[in-house]
């Protein structure tokens, strides 16, 4: 049975460790982080792929030759890799032909490493973005037999079935993580950059960013937290088992609040419903024109589940979908986003917070500040109403043609 006293001790002890970690970061000046200040924390290509490519590139501006690349390969000791370091070229956003999901070829590889013997490493870098259709399959088929595909995510997640098909992790491609592999590699890079202050401090700032994104503490504090949890094992298990439930409740409360306010504002013109249970990967709001609920074109707001692999990196967005069986005039004359989505629009940030319900800081504000929550809901509703005002006549025009 869970002890209330031990539960309190665990929570208090955890707070002390986190507070001490924060105090140390402040003393070391680590709270000043250029990536965070410039709101570049989660930009996959322009931040993470670009930074990693520059470090890995033997001809990079770091002027350290291939040492960082060698350290990276050494870090991936469990992955069979073949590469001639003396003839290596590292490219960002490498185009391998037109994307074809039927033949499973083509696309654009985030980080591409190759040598003069045509050996290659293809790195697919994922911070928030969802997988593309047959993405890992397409990269696997490129330079087949001489190409190693690495799937890099924050925590070493597996790609979706739609991306990997029948391919198997550890055999056909390899999952690597920022939390383990990249942090370990960056520590090695820091030692090699000890005599280059600007390079060293930039790598250090990037490492701090990765620790933030992966919720990783310094080794000493991590061990302290581990020991604390092990000494309060039942209480830690109790908290873990309830954490997801509490998080889901906060997200669902926002969805229901948005639906209620939308119904108050525009319910006379639209039928507004929640779609998919709150514990499903994609929790949506469907918005259909009154009297046209059976028609194939309508609006969707996605996603309230906090799934970081969703469209727009898991940020809330609204778009128009056409679920008709055949290609329609609407499809031909509107801006296609992905799959059946058209005219997609990512909702604007609120008080400098991107509208991602995977963001723990945002969820904490929602839960602890009723005024913030109310203003956030109002902002989301205003964004949706602005979109509807812009797109409704267009959708009505095409739906009337179907009648």
Q: Do 173 and 256 have their domain in common?
A: no
> For 107-117, what is each residue's pLDDT tens digit?
999 999 999 99
Residue 86 DSSP code: G
Confidence of residue 25 (pLDDT cuts 50, 70, 90): low
Q: According to the model, what pLDDT value does residue 10 have? A: 66
- Contact, 299 vs 287, CB < 8 A? yes
Q: Do 177 and 280 have their domain in common?
A: no
Would 48 be classed as within a structural domain? yes
Q: Do 178 and 252 have their domain in common?
A: no
Our measurement of the distance from residue 361's CA atom to the centroid of its chain's CA atoms, rounded to an integer in Å, reads: 15
Q: Do 274 and 397 have their domain in common?
A: yes
* d(C-alpha 131, C-alpha 281), whole Å: 14
Our measurement of the distance from residue 289's CA atom to the centroid of its chain's CA atoms, rounded to an integer in Å, reads: 32
User: What value does the mean pLDDT of the chain take?
Assistant: 88
Q: According to the model, what pLDDT value does residue 123 have? A: 97
Q: Do 177 and 271 have their domain in common?
A: no
Would 20 be classed as within a structural domain? no
Would 284 be classed as within a structural domain? yes
Q: According to the model, what pLDDT value does residue 400 have? A: 86
* d(C-alpha 54, C-alpha 353), whole Å: 29
Q: Do 59 and 163 have their domain in common?
A: yes
> For 147-192, what is each residue's pLDDT tens digit?
999 999 998 989 888 889 999 999 999 999 999 999 999 999 999 9
Q: Where is average pLDDT lowest: 85-89, 238-242, 292-296?
A: 238-242
Q: Do 257 and 373 have their domain in common?
A: yes
Rg over CA atoms, the chain:
24
Would 388 be classed as within a structural domain? yes
Give the closest residue to 222 by CA, choosing from 189, 192, 183: 183
Q: Do 263 and 167 have their domain in common?
A: no
Task: Choose the final residue of a domain: 132, 155, 183.
Answer: 183
Residues 6+ apart with CB under 8 A from 128: 42, 44, 308, 309, 313, 314, 315, 356, 358
Q: According to the model, what pLDDT value does residue 318 have? A: 94
Percentage of the chain exceeding pLDDT 70: 93
Answer whether residue 120 shows pLDDT above 80: yes
Confidence of residue 309 (pLDDT cuts 50, 70, 90): low
* d(C-alpha 214, C-alpha 41), whole Å: 12
Q: Do 162 and 254 have their domain in common?
A: no
| Coil/strand/helix, residue 118 | coil
Residues 6+ apart with CB under 8 A from 376: 254, 350, 366
Q: Do 46 and 139 have their domain in common?
A: yes
Largest alpha-carbon pair distance within the chain? 73
Confidence of residue 1 (pLDDT cuts 50, 70, 90): low
Would 197 be classed as within a structural domain? no
* d(C-alpha 303, C-alpha 310), whole Å: 7
In this prediction, residues 128-143 reach a mean pLDDT of 88
Q: According to the model, what pLDDT value does residue 218 have? A: 66
In this prediction, residues 320-345 reach a mean pLDDT of 82
φ, ψ of residue 221 in degrees (nearest 5): -70, -35
The region that residue 346 occupies, defined by phi over 0 for left and psi between -120 and 50 for alpha, beta otherwise, is beta
Task: Choose the final residue of a domain: 139, 159, 183.
Answer: 183
Q: According to the model, what pLDDT value does residue 21 have? A: 67
Q: According to the model, what pLDDT value does residue 235 have? A: 74
Q: Where is average pLDDT lowest: 124-133, 235-244, 318-327?
A: 235-244
Task: Choose the final residue of a domain: 168, 183, 198.
Answer: 183
* d(C-alpha 94, C-alpha 57), whole Å: 14
Q: According to the model, what pLDDT value does residue 283 have? A: 86
Would 188 be classed as within a structural domain? no
Residue 162 neighbours by CB distance under 10 Å: 15
> For 338-391, what is each residue's pLDDT tens digit?
778 888 898 998 987 888 888 888 899 999 999 999 999 999 999 999 999 999
Which domain, by its residues, includes 382? Answer: 246-402
How many helices (H) does the chain have, and how many strands (E)?
Answer: 13, 11
Give the closest residue to 213 by CA, choosing from 128, 310, 303, 109: 128
- Contact, 113 vs 56, CB < 8 A? yes
Would 81 be classed as within a structural domain? yes
For the chain, the domain total comes to 2
Q: What is the number of residues in the chain?
A: 403
Residue 311 DSSP code: G
Q: According to the model, what pLDDT value does residue 310 have? A: 64
Would 389 be classed as within a structural domain? yes
Q: According to the model, what pLDDT value does residue 101 have? A: 86
Q: Do 251 and 367 have their domain in common?
A: yes
Confidence of residue 20 (pLDDT cuts 50, 70, 90): low
Q: According to the model, what pLDDT value does residue 83 have? A: 93
Q: According to the model, what pLDDT value does residue 351 have? A: 86
Signed CA dihedral, 8, 10, 13, 19: sign only: negative
């Amino acid at each position: 049975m869970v002890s209330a006293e031990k539960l309190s001790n665990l929570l208090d002890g955890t707070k002390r460790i986190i507070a001490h970690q924060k105090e140390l970061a402040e003393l070391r000046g680590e709270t000043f982080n250029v990536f965070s200040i410039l709101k570049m924390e989660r930009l996959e290509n322009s931040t993470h792929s670009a930074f990693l490519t520059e470090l890995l590139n033997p001809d990079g501006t770091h002027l350290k030759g291939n040492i960082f690349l060698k350290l990276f390969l050494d870090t991936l000791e469990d992955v069979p890799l073949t590469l001639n370091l003396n003839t290596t070229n590292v490219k960002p956003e490498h185009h391998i032909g037109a994307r074809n999901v039927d033949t499973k070829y083509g696309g654009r590889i985030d980080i591409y490493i190759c040598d003069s013997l045509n050996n290659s490493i293809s790195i697919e870098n994922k911070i928030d973005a969802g997988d593309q259709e047959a993405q890992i399959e397409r990269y696997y088929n490129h330079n087949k037999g001489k190409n190693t595909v690495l799937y890099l995510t924050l925590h070493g997640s597996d790609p979706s079935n739609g991306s990997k098909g029948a391919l198997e992790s550890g055999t056909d491609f390899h999952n690597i993580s920022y939390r383990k592999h990249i942090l370990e590699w960056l520590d090695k890079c820091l030692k090699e950059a000890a005599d280059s202050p600007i390079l060293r401090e930039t790598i250090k700032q990037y490492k701090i960013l990765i620790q933030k994104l992966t919720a990783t503490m310094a080794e000493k504090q991590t061990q302290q937290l581990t020991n604390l949890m092990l000494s309060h094992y039942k209480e830690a298990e109790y908290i873990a088992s309830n954490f997801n439930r509490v998080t889901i409740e906060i997200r669902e409360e926002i969805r229901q609040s948005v639906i209620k306010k939308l119904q108050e504002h525009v319910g006379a013109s639209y039928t507004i419903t929640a779609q998919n249970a709150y514990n499903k990967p994609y929790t949506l709001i469907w918005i259909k024109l009154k009297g046209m609920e059976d028609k194939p074109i309508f609006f969707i707001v996605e996603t309230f589940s906090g799934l970081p692999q969703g469209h727009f990196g898991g940020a809330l967005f609204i778009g128009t979908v056409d679920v008709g069986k055949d290609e329609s005039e609407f499809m031909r004359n509107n801006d296609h986003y992905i799959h059946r989505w058209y005219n997609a629009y990512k909702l604007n940030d609120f008080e400098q917070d991107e509208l991602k319900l995977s963001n723990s800081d945002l969820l904490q504000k929602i839960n602890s500040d009723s005024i913030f929550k109310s203003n956030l809901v109002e902002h989301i509703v205003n964004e949706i109403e602005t979109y509807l005002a812009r797109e409704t006549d267009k959708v009505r025009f095409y739906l009337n043609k179907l009648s």
